[in-house]
Structure 1
Amino acid sequence: MISGHGDLVAVRITRAVNIGVAGVVSIWHFGYHGSKLITHWSDYQSQATTLASWTALAVIDVIGSVALLRRQSHAALARTLAVAILVVGSIGTAAGPPGGAIADSSWAWSSVGWLGVLVLLRRPIVELGVLLTANLGVTAAFLALDNAFDEPMIMRFVTVTCIAVGANVIVALAGRLMQEAAQQTTEIAEAEVESYAHKQAADEVHARRQERYEYLRGQVESVLRGLADGTLDPADPAVQRRCAIEAARLRRLFAENDDVPNPLLHELLTCVDIAERRQVEVDLSTLGDLPSIPIAIRRGLTETPLAVLATAVSSARVTVVSNRDEVIVSIVADAPPDAQITWTTCPALSTVRYREGANLWVETRWKRPSPLASLTTIP
């Protein structure tokens, strides 16, 4: 979620920069240069050529703005527009008064620079540098051809071009730096999110390990301690059944971490395997599709079948019936009457058991809570 938010911020900043640059260039060409065109209309040698040049650059302005705002400024399009800007701008300068390439009436050389910023904003800065250098060369060539390069004109040319080129480069660099800063901010946010996710995963793994350790201490430690200090006799059938139950619990515990499509069936199969190793014939059948079941519920559903399978003498039948809202696990086995069966204590489950002769039948049922049941009634 945070990563997606970071990407959205970067996109918004980039769009704001693009809108800002497109707006500045359009105001400069349509507003400032348009007013110059009207004010000095009578000064131009070819008014039709001047108007056509200004209009052509206006069209390029629109095309470049649309491409920039849609982020479609491909290299071929950007370079083609840059060349067109330089050619049309040169024609506009040529249509001006003799020696007036940078006079008050001149607008074309300035439009070339600003439109170059627009169409080359997402291109390497060196491409804008080439365009600006070429524009200065063309402007200087017009002044030289008109023999206008006296000392005052040289000072004016240096001053005006430094200010104009400086403004073009500053805007281009500022836009690029803002976009790069937004991208870097997004990358940093993504790295922080990834680091936080790894920490959460590590904490969850550690918590699960601690939980399993506490579970083993509570279930297995007493058996191991009794076997070690001699208080439990390995030859005693009751002790053997108890060891079988704890072994099944261990196998189930390890199986809980396996990445399998049906965790409940996978955990039941580990219990079945323990029984089959004792030469117990086990029949496992399923009906219906299993829903997603929390691990605590799975433990409760497998606890009683686990104990019954571990104490079965010769045969057992396990049946799993399920739908999207309910899971029923039942087992019938020839468990001895004196077998110490552990009944599940999970409050979310209901258990029914019945003994007939040598056979023990146990059914454990879990029903998904209704959404209405989770609502709290305020008195």
Structure 2
Amino acid sequence: MKKRIVRSIGLVFAILFVMVLASVFTLKDIPNEIYTSKENVQSISVFKQNNPLNTVKYDGKNINIEFMGLFSLKKVEVHKIKDLEVYPGGDSIGVRLSSSGVLVVGFSDVIINGEKSGSPAKNGGIIVGDFIMKVNGNTVLTSKEVGREIEKSNSDKVKLTIDRKGEVLEKEIKGIKEGDKYKIGLWVRDSAAGVGTMTFYDKKTNKFGALGHPITDGDTNEIFRSRKGDLYEASIISLRKGEKGNPGELKGIFMDEDKPVGEIEKNTECGIFGNGKMKDKENISKPMKVGFREEVKVGKAKIITTISGNEPKEYEIEIMKKLDQDTPGPKSMIIKVTDEELLKQTGGIIQGMSGSPIIQDGKLIGAVTHVLINKPDTGYGIYIDWMLKDAGIIG
């Protein structure tokens, strides 16, 4: 009898455990914060898509999700933001970033008197992706400064202070002398530049957001860590049409490299952000209301982008699927280009279009970020929520 009772109790607890796990699993993609312009919070998706076993309560600031009203599973902070307007982008921009430290991107053999020796830097424990902060105790900001400090070393022991993913390390490299200079077999980079698309500009704060994804280093594939950067007006001079397995590309030029239009302060998972006074925006376009992720729906939409010269145009797309995200990132929705003119000219989404605003029901809801390599007419977009937060326009 006792064994039967114990088995029954065990079975009840096992069932409850499975039910709790199932409830927790349904919450995995719900973010910790939700932005909405809706007055009726109960109409947002957290209430509509919730597991029937969970109870959802709103206390005026947070949504509390509880298992059968017994204990809390998740708390979601709700930010009500009404009537937020920004100027939509779509125009091409030039970007130039200077790195925070000097980035190690590769190694080279050192050849002295016809004899090849492996890279002393690599042998000394330096790896691709390290940032060199100091050489022999002297701060370096550029590739030239790194080379100069190594060459003038007084001994074959070259001391490097590096930053490896936030950890500061000291490495002593045994240099190889050629003539009166030392070499350690290192390839480094101190800057990155390219062309992309502006997403939005906020007249009230002078803040802007662009790209919708981070600028990464082509050799390390890591987010390019910058200490400063400038934004320039750009003009598209040519393009390569995208094809299956071969993404296309917009090619542009900086209009005036002596007159940046903005200062880049952040390079994040969601794009580049900073400050600038872009009065041209106020003259050629009108501010547009923002539509947060709760308002985005599968169906027809438009993008604003520039594929020739410096004049943005609207093109038809379709939002194929909304993706759940609990953390910020550039893959929030799957989009497909349906506009015949754009398909004819570009094949769909091509490099340089990243940051192109996505418009639905007259509201700015996101930006183009990536193309699918084997489906050039299809790619990803980012929810505008993530970009506005990284820009510092919403909290």
Which TM-score bucket, shorter chain as reference?
under 0.3
Bigger Rg, structure 1 or 2: 1
Relative to its length, the structure with more helix (as a share) is: 1
Return the structure number with greater strand share: 2
Larger RCO, structures 1/2 (Cα 8 Å, 6+ apart): 2
Q: Which TM-score applies when normalising by structure 2?
A: 0.17
